[in-house]
Amino acid sequence: MPATSLVKAFNDHSATIGVAGLGYVGLPLAVEYAAAGFEVIGIEPNETRTAQLNAGTNYIDDLDDAHVASLVEQGRLRASTDYSAAGDVDVFFLCVPTPVTEHKEPDTKYIEAATRSIAKHLRPGQLIILKSTTYPDTTEGVVQPILEEAAAEKGLALGEDYFLAFSPERIDPGNKEFTTANTPVVVGGVTDACTEVAEAALRAIIAQVHVAPSPKVAEMEKLLENIFRSVNIALVNELAKLCDRIDDLSMWDVIDAAKTKPFGFMPFYPGPGLGGHCIPIDPYYLSWLARRYDFETSFITLAARVNEGMPYYVAEAVVEQIARQPVRLQDAKVLVLGVAFKGNVDDTRHSPAETIIRLLREKGIDKVAFADPHVESFAVHTANSDTRPVQKQSLTAETLQAYDVAVLVTDHEAFDTELIATHANAIVDTRNALSDITDERRSKICLLGGGHENGTLAEVEAVPSSTA
């Protein structure tokens, strides 16, 4: 039976693994399987990435360069721009992008395209596992019909000849403690046999696999994970803006005090806005789904709008700092410290820095540059959907002195806070990264959520929800 044969192939590591999409999720997954002794074929339409990987060159910060090169050299890991080898693959992991449209509705075109390519090569004994974050019913409502159409022509039955499941990715870029190998995963198959085979595939490299009763449960739990963070970050962001109106009340001190409670509280921190692929996107996936059932996710949508408004709040704070200096707005120079969406990574997807820079340019501040030890180049989308590059600068005393305001957007450990505090003319700190500065230099620092006396953010009006 195909199911029995597949489980055996996963147990003895003789199965061939296919990974569609070799980005922040797909490549680490491919590397784990290759390191466990499996033959891995990656499908990546980006020709540059494919060429790099086949040459043994790693392009993901979280992976070890020598380790990736060794797996490629041993012939365990290779990449292709097409699905010509799909017929040789026993299990396909779909790790493709799941963006939203301009109307904030799910865009499943990458999932559909990858599924159609796999369907052309569908054969008995194949397993397809969707890992891309998406809304409940994507596996059964989008992927399954495409596979079934191809299967019908070949006389294949789902759950008997081929198998389908959903197992959400749990990648945290920059996290050195939890990786693909030691992070528990969830999986739900379309049938019991699908679940059994998918569980065996995952247990080949991951010790803890939680079996969900269906793909819908697995899809929904992934949204819950990310919306949980979105809602709680929105809460502290809103309270941070309140603290900015009150004398001598720092939200950061409030959180430090609250997190001493050993139960019933988990610390979240304010910031310039959310980034990465999942958290800025997932609330809209769920709200779109809810509307199909005549339901409005008011609480979740409001939290998303609060977080989307933070870059506007920060941009106004920068303008306020410029207004306090003897320089015209159109002549002002702003240095953005960090354009990655989180500290110590090179991932710029949906980074709040992009919105902040765009807003500053729209206000007439054309001299905006960035410094980021993890990012070599950065561009910002304009109102016409074009992209315009942002000049990169080295973080030196001379650079800091040459700019009227430095706005710290990303809390990279590589940033020298002493250097920044000493040489910057004015600082907007959105991450409390300069908390160790307690001397007279503190007067130059405008801290998000730091309280009215700690900066000037109290004078900033929140962006209207209609523009968030």
- Please report which helix (H) or strand (E) contains residue 234, including its range: helix 215-243
Distance of alpha carbon 416 from alpha carbon 398, whole angstroms: 14
Distance of alpha carbon 39 from alpha carbon 41, whole angstroms: 7
Angstrom distances, CA of residue 36 to CA of 14, 39, 45, 71: 10, 9, 25, 10
Angstrom distances, CA of residue 63 to CA of 31, 67, 159: 8, 8, 35
Distance of alpha carbon 403 from alpha carbon 392, whole angstroms: 13
Angstrom distances, CA of residue 74 to CA of 48, 78, 206, 449: 21, 10, 22, 52
95 counts as catalytic: no
Which among 194, 243, 278, 446 is annotated as catalytic? 278
**Residues in contact with 350: Cβ distance below 8 Å, sequence separation at least 6, in sequence order:** 274, 275, 276, 277, 280, 281, 341
Distance of alpha carbon 259 from alpha carbon 465, whole angstroms: 30
As annotated, the active-site residues are 278
